[in-house]
Chains A and B, each alone.
Chain A
Amino acid sequence: MPKNSDIARKLEEVGIEIDGEVDSAQENSTPKNKGGKRTATEKRGKVAASEDGEDEDEDDEPPRGRRAANRRKVAQNETLEEDSDDDIPPRRCAGNRRRGKPGGSAAESGGGGKPNKRNKRGGKKQKEDKVKGKQDEKSKNSRYAGKEPSTELLFYTAVAKQFLRFSTKVDVSPLCLNSVTIDHHICLLAPSRGTVHHSFILHPSIPYPSEDSKSERGGEEEESMSEGERAQLMEEVEEKKKLIANIRNKPWRMKRRLKHLKEAQLFVDKFEGALGKGKGRKLYAYKVMMMKKWIKFQRDFENFKTACIPWERKIKEVESHFGSSVASYFIFLRWMYGMNLVLFSLTFGLVVIPELLMGLPYGSIPRKTVPRAEQATAMDYSVLTDFNGYCKYSALFYGYYNNQRTVGFLKFRLPLSYLMVGIGTFGYSLMVVIRTQSGLPMSLRTQSTLADRMAKNADVGGGDGEDNEFTFAWKMFTSWDYLIGNAETADNKYASITTSFKESIVDEQENQKDENVHLRRFLRVLANLLITCTLGGSGYLIYFVVKRSQEFANMDNLSWYEKNELEIIMSLLGLVGPMLFETIAELEDYHPRIALKWQLGRIFALFLGNLYTFLLALFDEVNAKLEEEKSIKNASIWFMQEYHANYTANHPNDIGTPPPIDPSDVIRGPCWETTVGIEFVKLTISDIQVTYLTILIGDFLRALIVRFLNYCWCWDLEAGWPSYGEFDISGNVLGLVFNQGMIWMGAFYAPGLVGINVLRLLTSMYYQCWAVMACNVPHERVFKASKSNNFYMGLLLLILFLSLLPVVYTIMSLPPSFDCGPFSGKERMFDVITETIDLDLPAFMGTLFSYAANPGLIIPAILLMVLAIYYLNAVSEGYKNANMELKKKMQMARDEEKNRRNNKDSTNQVLKDLEDLLPNRSNLPRPGEQEEKPEERKAPKVKPGAAGKGINVQKDVSLALANPNTRGLMTQAPGPKPVGRLPGNAGPGHKGAAPPPSH
């Protein structure tokens, strides 16, 4: 339809005039509508109908999406129109013609078209708006055509309606795309070149290239920047590049230089791509997009990483309700779980599983068979819970393992592996504990979530959180996290704010306390005396019970209590002891943080005492067992000799078949290793039971009673005597630490113990989290536990060392049992190592090791180690000092800055005085400048740079002043030189007073 395209062209040419015309002819526009295919009223109805629906989801769409949607709509419209009439060729050609029209060639359209458009800015804008209006109608994107469209909009929609009939034929979008994308930073936004590249959002309804015509337009787009513009841009980019190249030579301060450098680089980055032909531009767009995606990916990945930390949410929840100290227990628990998981995989992967899979099966040899005498009761529940019967002869315990040098087709050296895993357990634990102890605060800090970070930010923002003077005011004004939009998080935040307030209150109360010092001292001494007595008593009790249990061991038909007396007493002591200590600690009236340390130390002493008494008693038992074993060994050797003698007597030609005895009938030794293992497993199990029962009864039942009996009770149970339990941090931590100590000690003799412990920690995590949230109330005296984690680690290290001792002692000095365990038949357990060296490694290695084991080498090695420790210690000391020094410097710098800010006025006064002394007049504008800025005086404490122009200007002025001064002096006659030197010094001096010169 050439006619249509003609009209379109004309319309394009006379843009404004037609607009006016159309406006006046709005009434009869409908009849003019060609073919009446779509009447304006229809359109409007449609718009209205679809408005509400589409508006909303579009609003939520990001601009990019919206743009895409627009584009899609245009495309839809086009395709819709394509099947109407015969419009395709004309439209195309119209579009082309029109595109070509301003200049004729594409290049010309770039060159000539632009100024034109620029000149007719108003017209062009209207054109755009027209298109916008049209688009509003067409694509029903009614963002700006709300219920009460503006007058302008009305006008434009009217125009658009007029225009509509052409637009059904003629695709205007390419044109206005030109005008938008082409010069989106030149025409529309000429003044603000820096912000252009989002500007398309400004015209959400401006049509974007439809799919089919995009490629053809792509070429056009880059051409479309006018030559002049391009040249100018090029020039600017060049300029910036030059700036970057010789910014070093500029007589600016470093800060300013950096700033300019950054700006220039940004600019070049932004527009170099825009200048490139086709590819450069696209590449730039691509780069930007990828950058955004990358940032988003990083953020998501961070979120993912946080989500991957097990129990993080749970712990945070607890933390927000009970404060950081309770949370620190759970973090510790989680850490323990991780460590035990590693130990578990070591033990099971290298010892238990190989033995089960590749070793001899159950029942094949005496050590893997239940003895005949026990077989009747071996499956009884009571026997199994004592870890006798089948349990005793299972892979859980040391005795089960065979002393075969290699097992399976892999020739797995099981005994060696057993020893190595035993040592490796300690090695790994030691490494991890030490590393964590030094690194934990850091790692904790990095793990902190948003809320924490906010809190930390507050600290960081204030320099030192510790010594600031506005604790309460800060909490008051800055504690809420304004980004919280989730009700649950908000609850947690409320709770944590409350907690932090309470912590501050407690600290405050502690600070203000003044009391009778003598009474306090006396009470503290008394308390310590009482506690020492308790400790001694508990030690004696345990020793007594262990002795008694040895007597019981020789007796038959014991009651259940008599059999489990030791465990019960130990657990009870562990239960009662801490409570007793806590009661006694009331006398001392320490700050909760200090009280916690004391409490921990005392419970530690109690547990340790108990454990070591238990161990000593156990050693007695082991020695007794060893005696017993010796006799049995002799007996069995004697039996074997007898047997062989008989055998060879009967069958003189045949030697070496084993006696045809069922493995369960063989006489066997007591196998003290298994006994020790069983003791530890029993202790662990009873510990678990007691812990869980305590929680169930002491916390849950108590909470139930308090909660529900409160309805029918004489006094207020919740506020009064029983009330709800508090979470006992010290007790729980020490329980955990000692449990771990028992695991370390027992793991060598009972490989299954680690598995039990892993299960225990896992259930404990859920169980205790539930219990603490369900039945406990936050501590009345809340306090921060920022450094407690380190303290726990210290305890753990100590207990690790203490549990290492007995195990190493037994490995090194006690002979292993002759008929059970992987080391049976050897003089000492570590003989496996020498055996391996002798048999498996080449001979020279053996000699090498024998040299290495020479005391002549070992003593120097130890000396060297001591020296190294000394050296490292000294170095770290030095670093610490340097650190302190730097910290002090920072503090000083901060103070200085603060002073400067606070005393701006007075400083300026001094400056003024100084400048008044100057011989030349270049400081004259200064007072004027000062008067110009009266608001400065009002707010003298504003940070420089942030607060805005006033101060900066002043700074600049002072900068500018300093230079003229010196320059002026240099050009001056040499006469006043001695005087001139003074201002020369003063110049930098007062410059320093504004920003310190030392920077």
Chain B
Amino acid sequence: MGSRASSLLREEDIEEIKKETGFSHSQITRLYSRFHSLDKGENGALSREDFQRIPELAINPLGDRIINAFFPEGEDQVNFRGFMRTLAHFRPVEDNEKNKDPSSGEPLNSRNNKLLFAFRLYDLDRDDKISRDELLQVLRMMVGVNISDEQLGSIADRTIQEADTNGDMSISFSEFIKVLEKVDVEQKMSIRFLH
């Protein structure tokens, strides 16, 4: 009792979330039920443990990074609004969105924002640059111990060498965008709702 209103999905909330994230009504409710089912503590907010219970994330080498992306700096709880804000990056880009009014700014699910989300996964120290060390860490997570450190280092070097255009031996966001230019991010980084 005496709780905050966040545990109840109200019409106004939905409207606001809709405005903020662009999800449709049914998608919001669906995601709310998912949110609720993840919320084992039943306190209207998710903790890191709640996320780690998802097998896909538990297995994922970048799982921790993804989970971190849900939490604002310095907090360890995320409510439904925050949850939706993060998920909005993964909203499929719809055709009819293209000619919407330009006043509302760039939507969260734009290509840029999707890429930015991915970029943040690799940018461990949030300095807007992926350094060699960060790459090495990710690599270690991805291939484990199967490849020698020396080789991992050369892979990381090679990656940076490929992507780096301004010669600062790290990958900035614009370089990151350039690397993934040909990847169909809009399609890959989208939740596909089954409706």
Residues of chain A at the chain B interface (Cβ within 8 Å): 55-56, 59-60, 63, 125, 143-144, 146-154, 188-189, 192, 194-199, 201-202, 204, 259, 262-263, 457-458, 461-463, 468-474, 476-480, 482-487, 490, 494-495, 497-498, 501-502, 504-505, 508, 898, 901, 932-933, 935, 939, 941-943, 945-950, 952-953, 956
A194 to B24 alpha-carbon distance, docked (Å): 9
A942 to B186 alpha-carbon distance, docked (Å): 11
Known: A199-B25, A485-B56. A152 touches B10 (CB 8 A): yes
Considering the complex, which residues of chain B in the window 147-195 have a beta carbon less than 8 Å from any beta carbon of chain A? 147, 151, 154-155, 158-159, 162-163, 171, 174, 176-184, 186-188, 195
B 29-59 to A, binary, CB cutoff 8 A, 1 in contact else 0: 1100100110000111000000000111001
CB closest chain-B residue, reference A469: B162
Is B101's beta carbon under 8 Å from chain A? yes
CB distance B111 to A471 under 8 Å? no
Known: A458-B183, A463-B182, A486-B55. A498 touches B155 (CB 8 A): no
Known A-B contacts: A59-B33, A63-B29, A201-B29. Give 4 more (CB < 8 A).
A202-B9, A473-B159, A942-B110, A949-B101
Chain A residues in 8 Å Cβ range of B151: 501, 505
- Among the listed A149, A473, A480, which residue makes an inter-chain contact with B7, where contact means beta carbons less than 8 Å apart? A149
Chain A residues in 8 Å Cβ range of B162: 469-473
- Among the listed A125, A195, A461, A497, which residue makes an inter-chain contact with B25, where contact means beta carbons less than 8 Å apart? A195
CB distance B183 to A946 under 8 Å? no
A468 to B179 alpha-carbon distance, docked (Å): 10
CB distance B138 to A144 under 8 Å? no
Known: A947-B112, A949-B101. A153 touches B179 (CB 8 A): no
Known: A941-B178, A946-B111. A505 touches B155 (CB 8 A): yes
CB closest chain-A residue, reference B36: A59
Q: Which label, helix, strand, loop or mixed, suits the secondary structure of the B interface?
A: helix
Chain A residues in 8 Å Cβ range of B25: 189, 192, 195-196, 198-199, 202
Known: A148-B7, A498-B146. A949 touches B62 (CB 8 A): no
Q: Which label, helix, strand, loop or mixed, suits the secondary structure of the A interface?
A: helix
Chain B CB within 10 A, most for which of A55, A473, A490, A932: A473
Chain B residues in 8 Å Cβ range of A146: 3, 7, 42-44
Q: Chain A's nearest CB lies how many Å from the CB of B87?
A: 14
CB distance A152 to B5 under 8 Å? yes
Task: Flag the segment in B68-76, B77-85, B90-98 that touches A.
Answer: B90-98
CB distance B5 to A462 under 8 Å? no
CB closest chain-A residue, reference B113: A948
CB distance A942 to B111 under 8 Å? yes
Chain B residues in 8 Å Cβ range of A490: 59-60
CB distance B33 to A472 under 8 Å? no
Chain B residues in 8 Å Cβ range of A259: 95-96
Known: A147-B42, A150-B8. A477 touches B62 (CB 8 A): no
Known: A144-B9, A195-B25. A484 touches B60 (CB 8 A): yes
CB distance A201 to B26 under 8 Å? yes
CB distance B112 to A478 under 8 Å? no
Q: Chain B's nearest CB lies how many Å from the CB of A941?
A: 6
CB distance B10 to A939 under 8 Å? no
CB distance A946 to B195 under 8 Å? no
Chain B residues in 8 Å Cβ range of A148: 1-4, 7, 43-44
Q: Chain B's nearest CB lies how many Å from the CB of A263?
A: 6
CB distance A149 to B158 under 8 Å? no
A458 to B26 alpha-carbon distance, docked (Å): 31
Chain A residues in 8 Å Cβ range of B122: 477
CB distance B56 to A501 under 8 Å? no
CB distance B36 to A946 under 8 Å? no
CB distance B143 to A470 under 8 Å? no
Chain A CB within 10 A, most for which of B3, B26, B118, B147: B26
Subset of 17 A-B contacts with CB under 8 Å: A146-B3, A153-B8, A198-B25, A199-B29, A477-B180, A482-B60, A486-B59, A494-B144, A494-B146, A898-B181, A946-B186, A947-B106, A948-B106, A948-B110, A949-B104, A952-B98, A953-B99
A946 to B159 alpha-carbon distance, docked (Å): 27
In the A-B complex, the 6 residue pairs with the closest CB atoms: A148-B3, A198-B26, A59-B37, A195-B24, A462-B182, A485-B56
Chain A residues in 8 Å Cβ range of B3: 146-151
- Among the listed B97, B158, B188, which residue makes an inter-chain contact with A472, where contact means beta carbons less than 8 Å apart? B158
A919 to B182 alpha-carbon distance, docked (Å): 40
Chain A CB within 10 A, most for which of B3, B135, B174: B3
CB closest chain-A residue, reference B104: A949
Chain B CB within 10 A, most for which of A59, A462, A472, A939: A472
CB distance B146 to A495 under 8 Å? yes
A195 to B24 alpha-carbon distance, docked (Å): 6
CB distance A480 to B142 under 8 Å? yes
CB distance B36 to A143 under 8 Å? yes
Known: A461-B184, A484-B60, A948-B110. A479 touches B142 (CB 8 A): yes
Chain A residues in 8 Å Cβ range of B142: 476, 479-480, 494, 497
A630 to B10 alpha-carbon distance, docked (Å): 102
A946 to B186 alpha-carbon distance, docked (Å): 7
Known: A198-B26, A457-B188. A150 touches B7 (CB 8 A): yes
CB closest chain-B residue, reference A460: B184
CB distance B36 to A480 under 8 Å? no
CB closest chain-A residue, reference B11: A125
CB distance B182 to A949 under 8 Å? no
A144 to B178 alpha-carbon distance, docked (Å): 46
CB distance B56 to A483 under 8 Å? yes
Chain B residues in 8 Å Cβ range of A479: 142
CB distance B147 to A501 under 8 Å? yes
Known: A192-B25, A470-B163, A505-B151. A152 touches B8 (CB 8 A): yes
B 114-143 to A, binary, CB cutoff 8 A, 1 in contact else 0: 000010001000000000000100110011
- Among the listed A63, A197, A949, which residue makes an inter-chain contact with B98, where contact means beta carbons less than 8 Å apart? A949
CB distance A195 to B26 under 8 Å? yes
Chain A residues in 8 Å Cβ range of B6: 150
Is B14's beta carbon under 8 Å from chain A? yes
Known: A473-B163, A474-B179, A941-B177. A497 touches B143 (CB 8 A): yes
CB closest chain-B residue, reference A939: B112
CB distance A947 to B158 under 8 Å? no
A63 to B195 alpha-carbon distance, docked (Å): 12
CB distance B98 to A945 under 8 Å? yes
A939 to B119 alpha-carbon distance, docked (Å): 15
CB distance B59 to A484 under 8 Å? yes
Chain A residues in 8 Å Cβ range of B171: 473
CB distance B9 to A198 under 8 Å? no
CB distance A939 to B182 under 8 Å? no
CB distance B111 to A198 under 8 Å? no
Q: Chain B's nearest CB lies how many Å from the CB of A975?
A: 37
Known: A63-B33, A144-B7, A462-B182. A192 touches B24 (CB 8 A): yes
- Among the listed B14, B118, B163, B184, which residue makes an inter-chain contact with A202, where contact means beta carbons less than 8 Å apart? B14
A201 to B9 alpha-carbon distance, docked (Å): 11
CB closest chain-B residue, reference A477: B180
A482 to B57 alpha-carbon distance, docked (Å): 8
Q: Chain B's nearest CB lies how many Å from the CB of A737?
A: 32
Q: Chain A's nearest CB lies how many Å from the CB of B64?
A: 13
CB closest chain-B residue, reference A188: B11
A371 to B188 alpha-carbon distance, docked (Å): 75
Chain A residues in 8 Å Cβ range of B155: 472, 476, 501, 504-505
CB distance B1 to A149 under 8 Å? yes
- Among the listed A188, A478, A498, A943, which residue makes an inter-chain contact with B186, where contact means beta carbons less than 8 Å apart? A943
Q: Chain B's nearest CB lies how many Å from the CB of A67?
A: 12
CB distance A949 to B102 under 8 Å? yes
Chain A CB within 10 A, most for which of B26, B44, B98: B98
CB distance A949 to B100 under 8 Å? yes
CB distance B106 to A935 under 8 Å? yes
Q: Chain A's nearest CB lies how many Å from the CB of B160?
A: 8
CB closest chain-A residue, reference B146: A498
CB closest chain-A residue, reference B173: A939
Chain B residues in 8 Å Cβ range of A943: 111, 186
CB distance A946 to B95 under 8 Å? no
Q: Chain B's nearest CB lies how many Å from the CB of A110?
A: 24
